[in-house]
Amino acid sequence: MARGQQRSEAHEDSGRLLIEAAQRDPRRFAELYEQNFDRVYAFIARRVRNREEAEDLTSEVFHQALANLPRFEWRGVPFVAWLYRMAANAIVDRWHTTSKEQVDPRRDAEDKAALAQVEQRASLFQLVESLPPDQRRVIIQRFVDERSIREIATELGRSEGAIKQLQFRAIENLRARLGGAHA
Amino acid sequence: MPKLSLAAQLDQAIQALLTRPDSVPPVESSLAPLVRIAADLRDLPREEFKARLKSELERKASMATPAVTPFREGFHSLTPYLIVEGAAKLIDFLKQAFGAEEKLRVPKPDGSIMHAEVRVGGSVIELADANTQYPPRPTNLHLYVPDADAVYHRAIAAGAISTHEPVDQPYGDREAGIRDPGGNNWYIATHKAAGPAQFIPEGLRAVTIYLHPKGAVQLIDFLKRAFNAEEAARYESPEGAIMHARVRIGDSILEMGEAHGLYQPRPTSIHFYVPDADAAYRQALAAGATSLTEPNDAPYGDRAAAVQDPQGNSWFLATYIKDVPHP
């Protein structure tokens, strides 16, 4: 337990050092982006209608974060919480066109259960990158490009049954790597 | 109808999720977790988007010139400089009690510490062993932590003396007091008013210097003239004495409360990073400070000077010039 706490303090400290480094030299911002992209995107995607809006808002949040980074002050609130608040405000600004449901996204930014779900999705998105290449390709074509099994089968020169198997194994793999969080 | 394979059943559910999410057919229970993952995968971001946004941000960031700051890395405007008997022992205590991280230790040939730096939370504390030129100067520090009770008990276990047990203060802090082995007083606090995620009040950092001057009003007035300080908060007693005040100097806050009872003045040494040490030195003297050291180039990369304020606090004015490009 004590060791776990030390680890999280060390993690917090390295996060803080990276933020301070990026505050001094904005070129280090890319590292903050890599660490937080999936979370911010997952946070936004839950509350907007389509991919274009999610991308637009994610882009807005990171541009804003880069511009406002010198004003970020460490007060025990993690950097990602600052990004979530920015994301929630950006969603609210487009409220009338983009909301999937009548839930104030600013409440998500404070809600543990909502944030746990966001974290879990962000982990899922990262895990997709670590899948074997053929499984990963099927997942991306199916869910991002929204291609049919037949289209994917034709493109890859395989049977529809084989593509369904790959899809099945990929998702099973993701479930195993998520450690039962979705079970 | 022949029973569909699991892979085919899953695909049926996925097809429905993608095209008519309101009528996803029921699946075998073993498939339910996979369908939930599939539902989340609908929000999977496009890799091209992630890469394009990254290069956009990199382009934008590269156009911004790196800020040349007059502060050394990790430092803010104000840093407490603790001068104690037994600096090594105090460093051990700070590690055990507050999880301090030792960043630098410059020993003298006799083994005593000429200069050391530790980091507590997001704040730097500097310290050195006292000597005849610099006698011990114990001070007061305000420390914000996520759990004041736990840190208080850790501090006692590490050898601190309790000055007060944890109590809920009317201003919304859980707060305890200890005296460390170097004689410094620490107010250990957890800010409760803003919820557990924000245990440090707005505007403060993990460690803040706390002064108990005789004549807080006059000191604030001096700090305004000498260092362009701004008063951020002031709470007065019915008699008009300052019970608690926060003064902003540069990017930092200095706290103070009029001396009373056990809380008497303890002249403190403060390392103060400014954009121009020479100009700050001149301004401080014009405001009534006494010169301790004239501006000079210190070997560790600071342009440095020192003044004493009318209350006896020492201000080590510094501009970090090592990274500053010379025209």
Q: Which of residues 103-162 of B touch A (CB under 8 A)?
A: 119, 122, 144, 146
In this prediction, residue A101 has a pLDDT band, given cuts at 50, 70 and 90, of low
- A30/B101 touch (CB, cutoff 8 Å), yes or no: no
Highest averaged pLDDT of the listed ranges A79-83, B69-73, B175-179? B175-179
- B37/A175 touch (CB, cutoff 8 Å), yes or no: yes
* Cβ-nearest to A76 among B49, B56, B197: B197
Least CA distance to B119: which residue of chain A? A13
Q: Indicate whether A27 and A87 sit together in one domain.
A: yes
The interface pTM score, or ipTM, of the predicted complex is 0.87
Q: For chain A, how big is the Rg over CA atoms in Å?
A: 19
Residue A116 maps to a domain: no
> Which bin fits B186, alpha (ψ -120 to 50), beta or left (φ > 0)?
beta
Single-letter amino acid code for the residue at B143: L
Q: Is A46 touching B (CB cutoff 8 A)?
A: yes
Residue B323 has pLDDT above 70, yes or no: no
User: Tokens standing for B294?
Assistant: 């004239």
Least CA distance to B15: which residue of chain A? A148
- A171/B34 touch (CB, cutoff 8 Å), yes or no: yes
3-class state of residue A115 by DSSP: helix
Q: Is A127 touching B (CB cutoff 8 A)?
A: no
- B54/A124 touch (CB, cutoff 8 Å), yes or no: no
In this prediction, residue B8 has a pLDDT band, given cuts at 50, 70 and 90, of very high
- B66/A183 touch (CB, cutoff 8 Å), yes or no: no
Q: At what angle do helices A29-45 and B47-63 cross, to 10 degrees?
A: 140
- Name the CATH architecture for the domain at B82-320: Roll (3.10)
Q: Is A108 touching B (CB cutoff 8 A)?
A: no
Q: Indicate whether A145 and A101 sit together in one domain.
A: no
Q: Which of residues 146-165 of A touch B (CB under 8 A)?
A: 146, 148-149, 161, 164-165
- B10/A175 touch (CB, cutoff 8 Å), yes or no: no
Tokens 């004495």 belong to B241
Q: Indicate whether A100 and A164 sit together in one domain.
A: no
Domain ranges across chain B: 6-63, 82-320
Least CA distance to B41: which residue of chain A? A143
- A121/B64 touch (CB, cutoff 8 Å), yes or no: no
Alpha carbon distance A55, A36 (integer Å) = 14
Paired sense of beta strands B207-211 and B252-256, if any? parallel
Model-level pTM greater than 0.80?
A: no
CATH of the domain at A144: 1.10.10.10
Residues shown for chain A = 183
Residue A180 maps to a domain: yes
Q: pLDDT digit string (tens) for A17-58?
A: 788 778 777 888 998 999 999 999 999 998 887 899 999 999
Mutate to test the interface with B, among A23, A77, A143 (most CBs of B within 10 A): A143
End-to-end CA distance of chain B: 84
Question: In this structure, what is the dihedral angle of CA atoms B211, B215, B216, B222, given to the nearest 10 degrees?
Answer: -100
Residue A10 maps to a domain: yes
Residue A119 maps to a domain: no
Residues spanned by the domain of A179 = 130-183
Residue A115 maps to a domain: no
Q: Indicate whether A134 and A102 sit together in one domain.
A: no
Q: Is A75 touching B (CB cutoff 8 A)?
A: yes
Contact A90, A61 (CB under 8 A): yes
Domain count, chain A: 2
Q: Which of residues 292-321 of B touch A (CB under 8 A)?
A: none
* Cβ-nearest to B53 among A27, A46, A62: A62
- A121/B40 touch (CB, cutoff 8 Å), yes or no: yes
Single-letter amino acid code for the residue at B117: E
pLDDT, position B211: 97
Residue A6 has pLDDT above 50, yes or no: no
Residue A183 has pLDDT above 60, yes or no: no
For the segment B275-287, the average pLDDT, to the nearest whole number, is: 94
Contact B128, B175 (CB under 8 A): no
Q: Indicate whether A77 and A148 sit together in one domain.
A: no
Main-chain dihedrals φ then ψ at residue B267, nearest 5 degrees: -50, 135
Closest of B316, B102, B318, B85 to residue B209, by C-alpha: B316
β-strand partners of B4: none
Alpha carbon distance B119, B109 (integer Å) = 25
